[in-house]
Amino acid sequence: MNKEQASKKIESLIELLNQYGYEYYVLDNPTVPDSEYDQKLRELQQLEQDFPDLVMENSPTQRIGGAPLASFQKVTHNIPMLSLGNAFNEQDLRDFARRASNGTDQPISFVCELKIDGLAISLTYENGKFVRGATRGDGTIGEDITSNLKTIRSIPLSIKEEGTLEVRGEAYMPHKSFLALNEQREKNEEEPFANPRNAAAGSLRQLDPKIAAKRNLDIFLYGVGEWENSDLTSHSEHLARLKELGFKTNKEWKKCNTIEEVIDYVNYWTEHRNDLSYEIDGIVIKVDSLDQQDELGFTAKSPRWAIAYKFPAEEAMTTLRDIELSIGRTGVVTPTAILDPVRVAGTTVQRASLHNEDLIREQDIRIGDKVVIKKAGDIIPKVVRSVVEQRNGDEEGFHMPEECPACGNELVRLEEEVALRCINPNCPAQLMEGLIHFVSRNAMNIDGLGEKVIIQLFQENLVQTMADLYRLDKEELLQLERMAEKSVTNLLEAIEKSKENSLERLLFGLGIRFIGAKAAKTLAMEFETIENLQKATYEDILAIDEIGDKMADSIVQYFAEEKVTELLNSLRELGVQMEYKGPRKSEQATDSVFSGKTVVLTGKMEKFSRKEAKEIIESLGGTVTGSVSKKTDIVIAGEDAGSKLDKAEKLGIDVWSEQQLEDVVGK
């Protein structure tokens, strides 16, 4: 085949394969068996290999290209990507319709759409070519994630449209992909994602497009940013035209001529949201006419021509089978509800923290009770109340034991704390939790040493202290259940590699009270070696900007322990290096997600103390304030977040979970 013939053949194969892909991924209606697609794809790959300069950008082989990126480039949105104001009930919807009517002379038609729970994305096409895909970011500046978006098969790499077209939509992870991903992660002993939204966001934030490619993400396009050559006059025409151009739009949208019809639509989907194969968190209502949209305009944050109705948090009823106690790294004993599995807001819940005995007593929660479960912020499962009316008399009250269930030591209640604690430093449960923390992702990051393996090692008496991990040998490991030659080799390699970690990982991993990942980094950067930190006085440590008195006190106390000196000596002898290897303080990057942002913390945090979270955000250039207002950029909501969260939602402010904060800090 000569070059000219190859070029023609390549062009026709691309057209054919893109048509097949469109039918499969966009229309969900394949017209050929997979084997035929694969055969044509192989033919194309062979030709591209033989004629490398004929590789076209819209070839399906170009979806998973590119080497991993070092970081994402920033993208400025020519037209800002605003968010929407919220409605929580019928009255809010009627108020919205009235405000809209008052702002325009002609009668209004609305378009109702499902509010897909993913993340907002912008796709830019120049003369028919997909040139850039970006996240919403803060609405003005997002990140260029083109390579990751190209892996979403329903996004066309080319369309038949001249000029510039910037389309907007929601990237999301369908339930099926989400369940498969979490199953896989649990097998690999990786933390599962809390919900499909986090999983989609986490996948698109990966610098290596190969990871996003494996996550089976999808997208619905629901709007237009810039459209150079369009003379369309309504949003419904936009949706229809986007569909014609080959974009995946959501088919459930409906044009409604009255607010009553809108309310019917909202009620219908409140009932049927769980029938969908993807997660929705509400309904978006938009004024259809583009002229009327212009007339109504925008407030500071959001358009007056659209609103997002948010579904109420879902509740479900199940049986409380038992209350288990878990002992944390710092000895806190936490009661956990063991539940009959029940689906709430898209995931199956089997456990929920009951926090402490006081709470169980106040709410009179008994083993055997029917209980109502809700997801706080739709993420963390929570027992809301017992259904007292359904008791049959067999339910049992719960009392915290007086002794630690792991070591038998007396439990104590420290001053000003609700929690009971085991203060035995040799308590096996605490030692084990300490080891789990030591090897975890943000600490020493030892791959292959998940919770289950640590428990095994501990129970087999192979590992008692952190230093013992570096004494493990092949023979010992091979004796463990489910440990084959290959996994043992990989594990030993990972342990060996961790010896070269920069100091902050070790400092965080040691589990010094009040020293989170961020404080560990600050300390490592400041003192550079562990010896310097060991020698430092309380005053030296307190003099550091981001370190408070509790932290300083805790560090001094920690290093004064003889056992700690012994542990560090052993680690050093075993080859664990203890120096800071990151950028010097003066080279620290100034730009971060928090720089220049005003952040409000609300609700109970589990992983960070309030102070710690504040310190982290401030060290990343943010300002933490106490109350939510229009000036607030981000609200980070822990458990039981109350009126501040409501207000943030009303104002359409970005709300983060504690996990999101951890993800960013970990990053």
User: Residues in the site for ligand IVH, rule: CB under 6 A?
Assistant: 82-84, 113, 115-116, 120, 170, 222-223, 284, 303, 306, 308
Taking the complex as a whole, how short is the minimal distance between the CB of residue 205 and ligand IVH, in angstroms? 16
Question: Is 115 a catalytic site residue?
Answer: yes
Are 455 and 475 a contacting pair, CB within 8 Å? no
Q: CA 518, CA 515: separation in Å to the nearest integer? A: 8
Please work out, in degrees rounded to the nearest 5, the angle formed at the alpha carbon of residue 179 by the alpha carbons of 178 and 183: 115
- Percentages (nearest 5) of helix, strand, coil residues in the chain: 40, 20, 40
Q: Which residues pair with 324 in a beta bridge?
A: 336
Element (H, E) at 204: helix 196-204
- For β-strands 280-287 and 110-116, DSSP reports them as antiparallel
DSSP 166: E
Q: In what order do the strands lie in the sheet with 598-602?
A: 623-625, 598-602, 634-637, 654-657
Q: CA 574, CA 475: separation in Å to the nearest integer? A: 18
Helix (H, G, I), strand (E, B) or coil at 306: strand
Place of tokens 């057209």: 15
Q: Measured from the CB atom, is 72 or 222 closer to ligand IVH?
A: 222
Q: Which residues pair with 656 in a beta bridge?
A: 636
Q: Alpha carbon of 177 to those of 204, 278, 661: distances in Å?
A: 14, 10, 24
- Taking alpha carbons only, the member of 308, 311, 379 closest to residue 652 is 308
Residue type, 541: I
What tokens appear for 90 in the block?
Answer: 């019928």
Distance of CA 118 to the CA centre of its chain: 10
Q: CA 204, CA 216: separation in Å to the nearest integer? A: 11
Are 333 and 419 a contacting pair, CB within 8 Å? yes
- Taking alpha carbons only, the member of 468, 494, 493 closest to residue 571 is 468
CA atoms within 13 A on the CB side of 73: 8
31 CB contacts (<8 Å, ≥6 apart)? 20, 23
DSSP notation for 101-137: HHT-SS---EEEEEEESSEEEEEEEETTEEEEEEE-T
**What do you get for the CA distance between the two ends of the chain, in Å?**
50
Catalytic: which of 8, 40, 74, 115?
Answer: 115
Does the CA dihedral 357-361-367-373 come out positive or negative?
Answer: negative
582 CB contacts (<8 Å, ≥6 apart)? 502, 504, 521, 524, 525
- Taking alpha carbons only, the member of 456, 496, 498 closest to residue 477 is 456
What does residue 313 show for φ and ψ, rounded to 5 degrees? -60, 135
Distance of CA 638 to the CA centre of its chain: 14
What is the set of active-site residues? 115
